[in-house]
Every structure is written in structure tokens, then in C-alpha cells.
Amino acid sequence: MAEYERYEHDVLVIGAGGAGLRAAIAAAERGARVGLVCKSLLGKAHTVMAEGGVAAAMGHVDDRDNWQVHFADTMRGGQYVNNWRMAELHAKEAPDRVRELEAWGAVFDRTPDGRILQRNFGGHRYPRLAHVGDRTGLEMIRTLQDHAIHKGIDVHMEVTIVQLLKDGDRVCGALAYDRERGRFRLFAAGAVVLATGGIGRAFSVTSNSWEYTGDGHSLAYAAGAELMDMEFVQFHPTGMVWPPSVMGILVTEGVRGEGGVLRNSLGKRFMFDDIPDNYKNQTADNEEEGWRYTQGDKTARRSPELLTRDHVARCIQREVREGRGSPHGGVYLDIAWIKERIPKAEEHIKRKLPSMYHQFMQLANIDITKVPMEVGPTTHYVMGGIRVDGDSQMSTVPGLFAAGECAAGLHGANRLGGNSLSDLLVFGRRAGEHAADFAATKRGGAASSESAATEAIRVALAPFDRGASAGAESPYAIQHDLQKMMQELVGIVRVEEEMSRALTGIAALRERAKRVGVYGNREYNPGWHTAIDLEHLLSVAEAVTRAAIDRKESRGGHFRDDYPDKDPAAGAFNIVLRKGGGGEMQMERRPIPAMPQYLKDIIEAQKA
């Protein structure tokens, strides 16, 4: 009896969020036979949660916007360690990718002249985010999903990849189990696209769902691919802080885009106190101007609440640490105040921010049209990921592609809001097309890795053998301890000594993970699933920690209390991690290639 069922595809796409769906559509349109695998049901991936919008320089609201400005904004937000080629392609192609969604049925909010409406967001110079109220991700994933189901793509829902398979250097497929029955599947493929999203579940306070265990990062790393920029984790400034069970759930930046302001317990708008030099020219220095900016006044400069996320998150952290926080350890985010400025403010808020209104009403008994919210930083996004070629999205392993949050490069040290959804579309499509082209030249090969598959199955089932026997560790307990440790020691403010302790802690947890035991049977058994995910979580936690120790400066999402300043020398390299021959994690500082003159000129021109 075969231990697994076998499936053949030209292109196997792992992940069905925005990036995976867009890649699958692109590959299918190139004529490839596509398999699309996801851990949850179709349409439930993380992308569904995105709220604020998708960034594309269409210039519908402010015609001064164009790809050059978007490019410069993205580079500055990323503190210039981005892959500039990706930033260029992204800024150029995003408008077409958004218009394409409209052609596939998406219904964005409209401008008065009937075009796609765009809103302000942190770090974007002009109103740039196409949106649908505060449920843009839902609109996007549903549009892609409804388009994809008519493309002849084979969808494998609730199927989890546990290992990539290789034929020599090249990736030739993957091994998976299905949640429902716990049976294994072997996918043979000419090319594989990873679109597995992020790693937020390595921390305890996060806006991310259970799926975010860094699978793609870890699968690629285990297969020999390089990871890059893993020290850059984005802590979103505004997550819910109360009640405890909703701690971390996101409060969209759109609240601030619509005029919401941050105040400390003294009622002060503390964001005016600390405006970084490189944003001074473009930031309002008084409340009146900030308000006019949020209301679309083109002569006004942006309010300081809309500075980049890393900066706003640290300012909030400072207020709390210095004793000016709200009762539950956050600060106040107030949108209700706009009733002083506009008529029918309550209706306006409910229309512009319906799911935020809903979320606070239902989960916290708070009416945001009447009283301020309490918010604090939450782990949100990982800029780091699989190192890829900017044009093709291929990793350093032939045949293995990556797109979306699990790939690195576009966002550098800090991602601007809205630049992820556009990232998924632009690079999802590119990855799908290039994977299809690659697969067209390669065939089969998975036969050679059958012994690898058998071994992977043995490892995956081992927790059952240990069962709940004496000395067996609970997967939930290990996961919980890891999250807590990462939150405390490698979180928003980092120091060497704490991170070294984290490394020791990760090694100890790895030992415990070897003794993890689960009970019950293989059918829809969450204990078992959690046990399998542990390896991924431990790998990404180690990668984040090692890279964070090595970057001895503060930049973007990475803030070191022992090196609080930016070091120009450190701006010249990315940190790259790779699995060594003995299984150890190897690290290297890789120089960033020189930027071509025409891109440098754009950046200079936009600095004014």
C-alpha cells in the first residue's frame, strides 16, 4: 500500500492568499497545469484580513502621483536596504494590477468622477490606497478566488505542505498531509511557488492568524534557499489591547488616515513631539494642518500620526513606558473627535470604517463614534523572507519561486501600509509566469525523492508514537513558551544580552520539541498540526534572532536599545541566512548592489 497519494502538476503553488492566487492565475494563463495548496479553506487566507487598501500610483485623487514618487516613498520607508529593482517594478506595475482586479469584478470605492478612490496612508506622499471601506483584503481575495475557480486550477484545500522535495539541486515537488483524514500527498511539479505568508505566530501579541507559522520561510530554508532581512519584523502601532482575549487584533491605519489622532493619558497629541528629520519637510507641525491633510487639502502636510509604522510604534511604546499610557497599557486613538469638525460624524465613521466600528462594538463594547479606543503595538508583518531574483521571483534554489509576504526585498527595513497587497499582485503574477516558463523546460523527477518522502512521513508521524506518554511534551505548551520568549526578548526594543538568552532558549525549546507527543487519531487533529508547525516556528525564531543580533544599529522595524542610531555602514548590506552542511544556521552580510543612476536621481528629486 502506498503511503501517499501522488499528484502531478506543472506548477505547484503553495498558499492561496493574494500572492498564491495571483500566481496560480498567471501560471494557468500561461498554459501550465496548476495545483494550488492551502492550509485552510479557499478564500480564508490572511489576505482576507487586510483592511486599509492596496497602494498603486494611479493619481486618481492627486494627479501629482506617479510611479517615481511611489518608488521613492517605498525606498525611504524601507530605509534604503530594499531590493531597488523590486521597488521599481512594484511601483510601475501596481496600477495595472489594480485595474485588472476591476476588470475581474472588484468593486472599489469611487471618486466623484466615477474612478477608483484612493486614500492617504502612512509614508505615502499622496492619497494612493485603492480601497473598499476597511475590508479591502476581502474584496481582493474574493475577486481573485472567483476568477481563479474558472481557470481549471486544481485546488487542494486544508492540505499542509511539510517538506519540499528535490531532484539534485532543483525543486521537484512537495510532500503534504490533508487535515481532514491525515493522509499524505506527494505533489510532483516542474516548479514550485511559495506564497505562504508570514511568521507572526512566533510572537504572543500579533495581528496574525494561526496559519502564520513561517512555513514557507522554513521549508525554503530547509531546501537550501537563502533567507534575507529576517531581523526586520514590523510591529504595527495600533493593535487592540483590551480585553485580553483580543489583544493584538489590528486597528487599521485607515482610522488615522480618516483623521483619527493619538493621545496619551494627559490628552496630548504626542506624535508632534518627535518627527524624524528626513520627514520634517513633509509633516504638519500643527493640529490644524494635520486635519486639513486628512481631509484632502493638497496644500497641507501629512499629520504626524501617519509617519511610518516603526516610528509610531516606538513613540507609543515610549509614552507607555514613561507612564503616560492608558489604563490597559496602550494609548488613546480617537476618531470620535472629528464630530467637532464635520456634521454627521457618526454616520461618516460607520461608513468609512465599518469593520472597525463592528469590531470594537462586538469585542470590546466600545462605540468608536463616541469614545476613543485603546491601542498598542502588535506584531504584524515580516519584511524578511526568501531571497529572490527581483524580476523572476526565483529563489537561490532552481525551480523554487516565492512571492508575497514570505519573499524578501521589496520592503527593506520597513513596509509601508498598502504596499503588501500590491506586492502580492505584482510579484504573484511574475512568480506564476516565470514558474510556468521554468516548468515548461523541466519534467517530473519526484521519483528520485521518494525515499525523502518516506522519511518525512516518519518524522511527521513520530509525535503519535510518543503519544501522551510520561515525558512527552505538549505542542501547545512549547508554542506558547516560544511566543512568550520571542515577545519579551526579541520584540519591539532589542538588546544583545536578551537576544543571546533567546538563542539559548530556542535551543532548549528545540530539545523539548523532540519529545513532543500527541494523542487521538490523524483526522483533523489540531494537536498534531501544532506539533508539525513547531519546527517552522523554531527555525524562523532562530533566523530572526540571529539576524537581529548581527545588525548592530537601529533601522526601520529593527530597533536596538544598545545601538539606537542608524549606522550608514550597515545600510550597505543585507543579512543573509542559509542552512549549512552540518545543519547549522550560517549567516553572511551581503553587500547591496549599486543602484542605477536613474533611480538615484528619482530619490534625490523626491527628497525635496
Partner 1 sequence: MGETTFRVWRGERGKGDFADYRTEVGEGMVVLDAMHQIQAESAGDLAVRWNCKAGKCGSCSAEINGKPRLMCMTRMDELPAGEAVTVEPMRAFPHVRDLVTDVSWNFEVKKKVKPFKPRAPDAPDGTWRMQQEDVDRVQEFRKCIECFLCQDVCHVLRDHHKHDEFIGPRFFVHSAALEMHPLDVEDRVHELKETQGIGYCNITKCCTAVCPEHITITDNAIIPLKERVVDEFYDPVMKLVKLFRRKP
Ligand X SMILES: Cc1cc2nc3c(=O)[nH]c(=O)nc-3n(C[C@H](O)[C@H](O)[C@H](O)COP(=O)(O)OP(=O)(O)OC[C@H]3O[C@@H](n4cnc5c(N)ncnc54)[C@H](O)[C@@H]3O)c2cc1C
Q: Catalytic residue numbers? A: 236, 256
Contact region for partner 1 (CB under 8 A) — 97-105, 118-126, 216-224, 276-284? Answer: 97-105
Rounded to whole angstroms, the Cα distance separating 432 from 95 reads 19
* Rounded-to-integer distance, Cα 10 and Cα 439, Å: 6
Rounded to 5°, angle at Cα 574 from 571 and 578: 160
Residue 542 as a binder of partner 1 (CB under 8 A): the answer is no
Task: Dig out the grid coordinates for 468 from the structure.
Answer: 501522551
| Residue among 498, 258, 491, 530 at smallest CA distance from 368 | 258
User: Of these partners, partner 1, ligand X, none, which one is at the site of residue 16 (CB under 5 to 8 Å by kind)?
Assistant: ligand X
Evaluate whether 195 touches 13 at the Cβ level (below 8 Å): yes
Residue of 201, 482, 500, 547 whose CA lies nearest to 556: 547
Question: Cα separation of 543 and 411, whole Å?
Answer: 18
> With contact defined as beta carbons under 8 Å apart, do 414 and 394 qualify?
no
- 237, 375 contact by CB (below 8 A): yes
Nine-digit cell at 190? 516542474
Q: Which residues from 112-151 bind ligand X, rule CB under 6 A?
A: 136-137
Choices 103-111, 414-422, 468-476, 556-564 (CB under 6 A): range interacting with ligand X: 414-422
Nearest to 73 by CA among 128, 18, 116: 128
**What does the alpha-carbon distance between residue 423 and residue 93 come to, in Å, rounded to a whole number?**
10
Q: Pick the binder of ligand X from 73, 211, 334, 433 (CB under 6 A).
A: 211
SS3 content of the chain, % helix, strand, coil (to 5): 40, 20, 40
Q: How far is the CB of 482 from partner 1 (least distance, A)?
A: 14
* Residues 552/502, Cβ–Cβ less than 8 Å: no
- Which parts of 348-387 interact with partner 1 (CB under 8 A)? 355, 358-359, 362-364
249 binds partner 1 (CB under 8 A): yes
> How far is residue 225's CA from residue 397's CA, in Å, rounded to a whole number?
6
The reply to whether 15 sits near partner 1 by the rule CB under 8 A is: no
Residues 347-386 touching ligand X, rule: CB under 6 A, are 381
CB of 17 to partner 1, least distance (A): 11
Distance separating the N- and C-terminal Cα atoms of the chain: 69
User: Coil, strand, or helix at residue 551?
Assistant: coil
Question: What whole-number distance in Å separates Cα of residue 189 and Cα of residue 180?
Answer: 23
Window of 213-221, 289-297, 512-520, 594-602 that interacts with partner 1 by CB under 8 A: 512-520
Residues 416-475 close enough to bind ligand X by CB under 6 A: 417-421, 424
19 binds ligand X (CB under 6 A): yes
> Is 182 a residue that touches ligand X (CB under 6 A)?
no
Nearest-10 crossing angle of helices 84-103, 67-77: 130
Residue 48 binding partner 1, by CB under 8 A: yes
For partner 1, which residue of 398, 476, 571, 573 counts as binding (CB under 8 A)? Answer: 476
Cβ proximity to partner 1: between 147 and 494 the closer is 147
Looking at this protein, which amino acid is placed at residue 406?
A: C
Helix (H, G, I), strand (E, B) or coil at 607: helix
Distance separating alpha carbons of residues 11 and 35, to the nearest angstrom = 6
Residue 102 within binding range of partner 1, rule CB under 8 A: yes
Q: Say whether residue 519 binds partner 1 (CB under 8 A).
A: yes
| Residue 31 Rama label (left phi>0; alpha psi -120 to 50; beta) | left
Site for ligand X in 233-252 (CB under 6 A): 250
Residue of 93, 139, 215, 535 interacting with ligand X (CB under 6 A): 215
| Partner touching 197 among ligand X, partner 1, none, CB below 5 to 8 Å by kind | ligand X
Minimal distance in Å, beta carbon 157 to ligand X? 9
Give the number of other Cβ atoms within 10 Å of residue 459's Cβ.
Answer: 12
Give the footprint of partner 1 on residues 144-183 (CB under 8 A).
146-147, 149-150, 155, 157, 180
Residues in contact with partner 1, counted by CB under 8 A, come to a total of 64
Contact call for residue 26 and ligand X (CB under 6 A): no
**Binding flag, residue 161, ligand X (CB under 6 A):** yes
Please choose which of partner 1, ligand X, none residue 206 contacts, taking the beta carbon within 5 to 8 angstroms, the exact cut-off set by kind.
Answer: none
Cα Rg, the chain, nearest whole Å: 23
Q: Which of 4, 11, 13, 15 binds ligand X (CB under 6 A)?
A: 15
User: Which lies closer to partner 1 via its Cβ, residue 51 or residue 73?
Assistant: 51
How many CB atoms are closer than 10 A to CB 318? 17
What residue 355 binds from ligand X, partner 1, none (CB within 5 to 8 A, per partner kind)? Answer: partner 1
Stretch that binds partner 1, among 15-23, 241-249, 282-290, 407-415 (CB under 8 A): 241-249
- Which one of ligand X, partner 1, none interacts with residue 381, CB within 5 to 8 A by kind? ligand X
Q: Considering the complex, what minimum distance in angstroms separates the CB of residue 418 from partner 1?
A: 18
The nearest distance, CB 71 to partner 1, in angstroms, is 21
Instruction: Say how far apart CA 114 and CA 116 lie, in whole Å.
Output: 7
Which of the residues 28 through 87 are near ligand X (CB under 6 A)? 37-40, 45-47, 49-54
Upstream peptide bond of 243 is cis (omega within 30 degrees of 0): yes
Q: Are strands 54-55 and 159-167 parallel, antiparallel or unpaired?
A: unpaired
Residue placing its CB nearer to partner 1 in the complex, 155 or 315: 155
Report the number of secondary-structure helices (H) and strands (E) in the chain.
Answer: 16, 18
Interacting partner of 166 out of partner 1, ligand X, none (Cβ under 5 to 8 A depending on kind): none
Q: Does 246 bind partner 1 (CB under 8 A)?
A: yes
Q: Where are the alpha helices (DSSP H) in 370-418?
A: none
CA distance 225 to 466: 32
Our finding on whether 260 is near ligand X (CB under 6 A) is no
Based on the shown chain and the rule CB under 6 A, indicate whether residue 258 belongs to the binding site for ligand X: no
Q: Does 404 bind ligand X (CB under 6 A)?
A: yes
Among 11, 12, 13, 14, binds ligand X (CB under 6 A): 14
Sign of CA dihedral 572, 537, 194, 150: negative
One residue of 64, 341, 480, 590 binding partner 1 per CB under 8 A: 480
Residues that bind partner 1 (CB under 8 A): 40-44, 46, 48-49, 99, 102-105, 107, 109-110, 113-115, 132-133, 135, 137-139, 142, 146-147, 149-150, 155, 157, 180, 209-211, 242-246, 249-250, 355, 358-359, 362-364, 474-477, 480, 518-521, 523-528
Residues that bind ligand X (CB under 6 A): 14-20, 37-40, 45-47, 49-54, 136-137, 160-161, 195-197, 207-208, 211, 215-216, 250, 381, 404-405, 417-421, 424
